[in-house]
Structure 1
Amino acid sequence: MPQSKLLQPDYHQATKHSYLSVQIDPNYVDASTQPSAFKLYPKFYRRVKLNLNNPVHSFISLTSTVTLEKMYKESSQKLRVNPSAGALYPTEVYVQIRGIQGIVNGIYHLEVENNCLTLIYELIDDGLESYIIPGKSINGFIFLISCVYYRSSWKYKDRSLRYCWLDSGHHLGAIAASAYIHDQEIQFIFDFDKLALNADLGFENKEFISACAISGEVQEKKIRHLRLKVPFVCGTAYFEANEFIEDGYQKTSLLKSRQHKLVHPQFNFDKDKFFQTVWMRRSSRRFHKQSISQENYWRILQSVEQPIPTVNFEEIQIYSIVHEVRGMPPGLYKGKHLIKAGNFSEKTGYLCINQAIARDSAVTLFFVSDYINYQTAMQIAGFLGQRVYLVSNFWGIHCSGVGAFYDDETQEFLETNKDVLYAMAIGI
């Protein structure tokens, strides 16, 4: 275990599920008390309605748009390009735009419910670059992912620290997908002065920046910190603080992640079909125990193994429990290597807290890591989860993320000493 990991509180250990913990606290909530899932600034703020026929507007919109509205019991539920644990959507997107014709240089909030950009700060000689890439200027876009954590902690309590970061990673995946469709190069940054930026964005303790994505021309130019604090608007109708989550965020924000060379992925998907995949992506609620082809399974794994465009990195390893893949013996795999053979569908369902989607899937993937920075590792796991969603759906295979599992028992079954961060079920 890295020495730096021994020096930090173990937020993963503190949020583990076990058979006993789930029985003691089944986590029932009153749905009528759910916090708002949309953040809105006052009506007098300047807004830009996003026109999907404009390539710049389309690029921004597709990073965080509503793709389906459906009725659930007596209320409507707006589903988005990015999945979210419990459909609680704790993540928000802000985008700094500089040097783009027809748009005022400024920091905007992406108002998902109304598909528009809300100008919250106009730039002069200041900007986000000074917090993220000092000494540089970006002509183009700087996306910030934030977490309004009470939307998640309302239901999942301390464990929502995991879900906020997984959701943040999924949101980065949505940004990457939109960038690919619109021929924009993207780079993720996880290590920067998040705490100073939170303070100047006026977030208090109710929201926090988790990650950044930049897209545009990088220039050598000194940009100063924001000259004014941004007025704060709460992203929920009411708020209850969680000291564990706030401490976990602050402590992990001070740690450096592992570093590696920046390499961009190389995909060759039909972009019209890929756009439809992004728009139609859904989390499967059930599988039918049907098999998938080995060819498509390898395609999914190969896509997941493509580089992640960041220099801040935590390595994620993937274990697969194969149930129904034509031409492959069922069993536990690490990559293409069979660790132990057998039909483990019932065991997988049990490990995922008796969820049928893990039992009836064709394959259940588990992401594990021996990380330095827990916050970065969880976000990368979520980003890879978004890749699994989109690539699976592209090839006609359904998918669902699984954030709840018996941590220690799953780790023991996988025969690894690394932390299990996330699971993904794919199938028909």
Structure 2
Amino acid sequence: MPIREYHQRTRHLPDAYAAGPESLDWDAQPNPFRRYDGARLVPLPLGATDLMARPDARRWEQLWQPSVGQSSEAVVIPDLAQLGLLLELSLALSAWKQFGNAKWSLRVNPSSGNLHPTECYLLVRSMAGLEDGVYHYRPDQHALELRCPLGLEEESPEPLLYLGLSSVHWREAWKYGERAYRYCQLDVGHALAAVSFAASTLGWHPHQIRPVALADSTLASLLGLDRPQDLQQADGSMAEAEHPDCLLNLLANRHPDSASAEEAEQIIAWLGQQKEWMGRANVLDPRHMYQWLVIDEVAAAARIPATSPASATTRLAAADWPAPAIASGSEARQPAARLIRQRRSAQAFDAAGGMALADFYTLLDHCLPRSDYSPWHTLPLSHGIQLMLFVHKVEGLPSGLYCLQRDTGRSLTDMQASLRAEFQWQPVESAPEHLPFYRLLAAGTRRTAMRLSCQQAIAGESAFSLAMLADCDGMEAEPWRYRHLYWQAGAIGQVLYLEAEAAGLRGTGIGCYYDDMVHNLLGLQNDQQQVLYHFTVGVPVIDHRITSWSAYGKASVEPSPPTGV
């Protein structure tokens, strides 16, 4: 199925949502935790609480200082404790919640519907405290499962550390049907950004972490995902398969383009020596009530082929943006680890609450794709998305529709020509000089934002909401660009989540919106531009009936909720 056909097919319309299940058994949701029965479990140390208590812990505002983004210090060689912290601050559980008899976990990385289709794998060599091998990360246990031990003859080979992500599409499709493929890609972007921010918090340098361009088939082999025998159960049934997504080199050298073909070939040769894989994947859902074949078709259409994997990584050239604004929000002086761990998705907003103008501009500034700062250095594609903002209640700004031109590769004239002719494109005088921020229309936006986001109140009762408008030109030649644009949208969403926390507010990603209605409002005349994601930020309304528990212990470490503006 062509990519554009899939995207068009999975639109939401007010009277015709994308195809999904007609009913849901909420007591029989898919297992949110994959495991490999029979694989040896290696516990990881928990260190986030101690890190947050240290006086030298990096504060959120420090992550945006030039000395962090452009450090010339040596590359960090992590040990088991550092690796445990990296995962604890990116992909681990952050809390357990309970309401009545219902109990569910939350994670540091957000997910559509809290369903978490993203799985994490590590390929390790010469790390202190950890046997060489391929591992699967178990967030429920904060532990690694050894999938493939590597017995190498060299006594002291050069250290290698790779982190791979994959998706169990069924976890999202169980609830969202055909549109689930979109959400799985957004979750990959959120996870990539979460890893990036965790690394920055620990003092890892941007040039240390680089995406590796690999064919999907090669990545599947590296992570052990092309082994159907590991999915087969004793009764003959099959566990749900995983689709390979991306690979990060966590020990790349200081040259931006080095973590590609040469190091990929090195790790392929290294892993190719091995024969023994351990563990059998568990079944996540014993009853698949529906079959969404379209998801398999679009995944096949968007795969990265073996013919030219290097072309699947389009690095962002050195950005012309000045150094980012230092975070100034009410919580920006908190340890970055604390903000990362306390991130939550707001379920409701106080419409009387707003956002300070300085915090708003800092948030927008941090959405600009600077190649030397988190999270942009982890993405194969960091440009191609503009932000269309519905400003409801931001101090000093009239309510209305605005645009942040975060991708200046497309000229302002081209943007003006592609959108509604009635838009004013008035530069906002109060914005920082380098910020390409324009007012398109001055008008009340709350009801419009709610209506466009599937009638959801969270889009209109916040301080602002936005739509991410993507340039989809070139997808015919490189269909995997569709995935990369969604990863970028998810990464932007992760920036928004954490900037909201730094401002004493809270954010929520919105995957449900009426595609055509948004396009009509913007005046789009063709399918070269598509809205991929909505997001909203405001003062949260906390449901105090819900009990919070710590992620891995008995003592509660749930942080205080934001106070708002």
Instruction: State the TM-score bracket (shorter-chain normalisation).
Output: 0.7 to 0.9
Structure 2: where are the runs of 5+ without partners? 51-80, 229-239, 306-310, 371-375, 405-436, 476-480, 540-565
1:145 aligns with 2:165: yes
Secondary structure of the equivalent of 2:104?
strand
Corresponding residue for residue 133 of structure 1? none
1:424 aligns with 2:444: no
CA drift of 1:62 comes to 1.9
1:328 aligns with 2:397: yes
Query: Which amino acid in the other structure matches residue 448 of structure 2?
Result: K
Are the counterparts in 2 of residues 50 and 61 from structure 1 also a CA contact under 8 Å?
no
CA drift of 1:234 comes to 4.0
Query: Which amino acid in the other structure matches residue 361 of structure 2?
Result: W
Corresponding residue for residue 107 of structure 1? 134
Secondary structure of the equivalent of 2:162?
strand
Secondary structure of the equivalent of 2:358?
helix
- Using the alignment, how far apart are the partners of 2:17 and 2:100 within structure 1? 26
Matches within 5 A, 1:345-384: 345-371=446-472, 372=475, 373-384=481-492
- Using the alignment, how far apart are the partners of 1:109 and 1:70 within structure 2? 25
**Aligned CA distance change for structure 1 residues 376 and 234 (closer, same or farther; 3 Å):** farther
Corresponding residue for residue 149 of structure 2? 122
Aligned pair partner of 1:260 in 304, 308, 315:
315
- Using the alignment, how far apart are the partners of 2:85 and 2:285 within structure 1? 29
**Aligned CA distance change for structure 1 residues 183 and 297 (closer, same or farther; 3 Å):** same
What per-residue deviation string (whole Å, max 9, x for no partner) do you get for residues 272-314 of structure 1?
5211110000000111112211111111000111421157315
**Aligned CA distance change for structure 1 residues 312 and 64 (closer, same or farther; 3 Å):** closer
- Using the alignment, how far apart are the partners of 2:296 and 2:357 within structure 1? 44
Mean CA deviation greater in 283-292 or 304-313: 304-313
**Aligned CA distance change for structure 1 residues 40 and 330 (closer, same or farther; 3 Å):** same
1:194 aligns with 2:216: yes
Are the counterparts in 2 of residues 148 and 208 from structure 1 also a CA contact under 8 Å?
yes
Matches within 5 A, 1:21-420: 21-22=16-17, 28-43=23-38, 45-52=40-47, 54-124=81-151, 139-185=159-205, 186-189=208-211, 191-199=213-221, 201-203=224-226, 204=228, 206-218=241-253, 222-223=266-267, 224=269, 225-226=271-272, 227-228=274-275, 230=277, 232-234=280-282, 236-238=284-286, 240=288, 242-254=292-304, 256-257=311-312, 259-261=314-316, 273-289=335-351, 290-307=353-370, 308-310=376-378, 312-313=380-381, 314-335=383-404, 336-371=437-472, 372=475, 373-416=481-524, 417=526, 418-420=529-531
Structure 1: where are the runs of 5+ without partners? 1-5, 127-136
Are the counterparts in 2 of residues 292 and 326 from structure 1 also a CA contact under 8 Å?
yes
- Using the alignment, how far apart are the partners of 2:183 and 2:494 within structure 1? 14
- Using the alignment, how far apart are the partners of 2:397 and 2:105 within structure 1? 39
CA drift of 1:59 comes to 1.6
Are the counterparts in 2 of residues 402 and 424 from structure 1 also a CA contact under 8 Å?
yes
- Using the alignment, how far apart are the partners of 1:402 and 1:74 within structure 2? 27
Secondary structure of the equivalent of 1:361?
coil
**Aligned CA distance change for structure 1 residues 351 and 44 (closer, same or farther; 3 Å):** closer
**Aligned CA distance change for structure 1 residues 25 and 160 (closer, same or farther; 3 Å):** closer
Mean CA deviation greater in 234-243 or 56-65: 234-243
What per-residue deviation string (whole Å, max 9, x for no partner) do you get for residues 84-105 of structure 1?
1111111111111222222112
- Using the alignment, how far apart are the partners of 1:86 and 1:282 within structure 2? 13
**Aligned CA distance change for structure 1 residues 215 and 196 (closer, same or farther; 3 Å):** closer
Aligned pair partner of 2:13 in 14, 18, 23:
18
- Using the alignment, how far apart are the partners of 1:258 and 1:315 within structure 2? 14
**Aligned CA distance change for structure 1 residues 24 and 272 (closer, same or farther; 3 Å):** closer
CA drift of 1:318 comes to 0.8
**Aligned CA distance change for structure 1 residues 10 and 22 (closer, same or farther; 3 Å):** closer
CA drift of 1:179 comes to 0.5
Are the counterparts in 2 of residues 262 and 309 from structure 1 also a CA contact under 8 Å?
no
Query: Which amino acid in the other structure matches residue 247 of structure 1?
Result: E
Secondary structure of the equivalent of 2:377?
coil
Corresponding residue for residue 130 of structure 1? none
- Using the alignment, how far apart are the partners of 1:138 and 1:70 within structure 2? 43
- Using the alignment, how far apart are the partners of 1:29 and 1:230 within structure 2? 36
Query: Which amino acid in the other structure matches residue 207 of structure 1?
Result: E
Bigger Rg, which one: 2
- Using the alignment, how far apart are the partners of 1:402 and 1:311 within structure 2? 21
Secondary structure of the equivalent of 1:21?
coil
Corresponding residue for residue 132 of structure 1? none
CA drift of 1:8 comes to 4.7
**Aligned CA distance change for structure 1 residues 258 and 216 (closer, same or farther; 3 Å):** closer
- Using the alignment, how far apart are the partners of 2:39 and 2:379 within structure 1? 40
When you count strand as a share of all residues, which structure comes out higher? 1
- State the TM-score, normalizing by the size of structure 1: 0.88
Are the counterparts in 1 of residues 386 and 468 from structure 2 also a CA contact under 8 Å?
yes
**Aligned CA distance change for structure 1 residues 310 and 263 (closer, same or farther; 3 Å):** farther
CA drift of 1:322 comes to 0.5
Mean CA deviation greater in 323-332 or 137-146: 137-146
- Using the alignment, how far apart are the partners of 2:150 and 2:18 within structure 1? 52
Mean CA deviation greater in 321-330 or 219-228: 219-228
Are the counterparts in 2 of residues 190 and 376 from structure 1 also a CA contact under 8 Å?
no
**Aligned CA distance change for structure 1 residues 385 and 87 (closer, same or farther; 3 Å):** same
What per-residue deviation string (whole Å, max 9, x for no partner) do you get for residues 14-35 of structure 1?
2110011139968541112211
Query: Which amino acid in the other structure matches residue 260 of structure 1?
Result: R
- Using the alignment, how far apart are the partners of 1:252 and 1:45 within structure 2? 34
